A = this chain, B = another copy of it.
């Protein structure tokens, strides 16, 4: 059979794992590798390019390809829709709107999103449940400057996330992961104690440079974001 780029990739990865090619070592160039694998250079190129994207090797023109001294510079995490996240675990998803108010954007939010002064926003407080146990709390702000339609939308049945996904085409995003503390309100929502640690994902979204929405999603104590290599 012909040699595939996947075979080359895993073969080279194996050599690195075994220590045959140590961190910092120079890897043979593409022409030589193609010859030794008896395949086209493009095939080797694809394998090496992916190893480079994975952070395993480092490539520079003329200087060649080297095994990275510190592997694993990049980790990829899935940031799924809550509904999918819950349903993929085989649990039943339930959503509830717990609060809704139109307000002038508070200063911290204006700063986060670069909103115009006195811009109005719709604030929504939502809960997500998996098998009727709290899965996470969503604090959502939607810019009514960018999306006036949000003011009249009905968020009692459909969560703001799903509504937005269906309404706004695509967007620029900034994601922040951090650790916070549950205050009394959040503790009530998540059925934990005030002062418990909550894992927080914040996401700011723009569309054509204009701020659309900001969301702070808080997971109950013990939640983990995981990835493997």
Interface residue from B17, B76, B169, B176 paired with A171 (Cβ < 8 Å) = B17
Closest Cβ–Cβ distance, residue A154 to chain B (whole Å): 20
* A23 interface contact, C-beta 8 A: yes
A residues 78-100 touching B (CB-CB < 8 Å): 78-81, 84
How many copies make up the complex?
2
Please give, as numbers and ranges, the residues of chain B lying within 8 Å of A71 by CB-CB distance: 165, 170-171
Interface residue from B13, B76, B224 paired with A75 (Cβ < 8 Å) = B76
Contact indicator B76/A72 (Cβ below 8 Å): no
Q: How far is the CA of A76 from the CA of B53 in the complex (A)?
A: 11
* A108 interface contact, C-beta 8 A: no
Q: How far is the CA of A169 from the CA of B3 in the complex (A)?
A: 26
Scan A111-136; emit 1 where CB is below 8 A from any B CB, else 0.
Answer: 00000000000000000000000000
Of the candidate stretches A33-41, A58-66, A138-146, A192-200, the one touching chain B is A192-200
Closest Cβ–Cβ distance, residue A205 to chain B (whole Å): 9
Beyond A71-B170, A76-B74, A197-B197, whether A23 also contacts B179 by CB under 8 A is no
Q: How far is the CA of A69 from the CA of B223 in the complex (A)?
A: 26
Q: How far is the CA of A71 from the CA of B181 in the complex (A)?
A: 29
Q: How far is the CA of A69 from the CA of B222 in the complex (A)?
A: 30
Closest Cβ–Cβ distance, residue A168 to chain B (whole Å): 9
Q: How far is the CA of A73 from the CA of B85 in the complex (A)?
A: 11
Contact indicator B169/A16 (Cβ below 8 Å): yes
Contact indicator A175/B208 (Cβ below 8 Å): no
Contact indicator B69/A73 (Cβ below 8 Å): no
- Considering the complex, give the chain B residue whose CB is closest to the CB of A22: B169
A residues 35-60 touching B (CB-CB < 8 Å): 56
A: which residues have CB within 8 A of B?
Answer: 13, 16-19, 22-23, 56, 69-81, 84, 165-166, 169-181, 195-200, 207-208, 219, 221-229
29 A-B pairs with CB atoms under 8 Å apart are: A16-B169, A17-B170, A17-B207, A17-B208, A23-B165, A23-B170, A56-B170, A69-B165, A69-B166, A70-B81, A71-B170, A73-B80, A74-B76, A74-B78, A74-B79, A75-B76, A76-B77, A174-B226, A175-B226, A175-B227, A176-B224, A176-B225, A176-B226, A177-B177, A178-B179, A178-B199, A179-B197, A181-B195, A195-B195
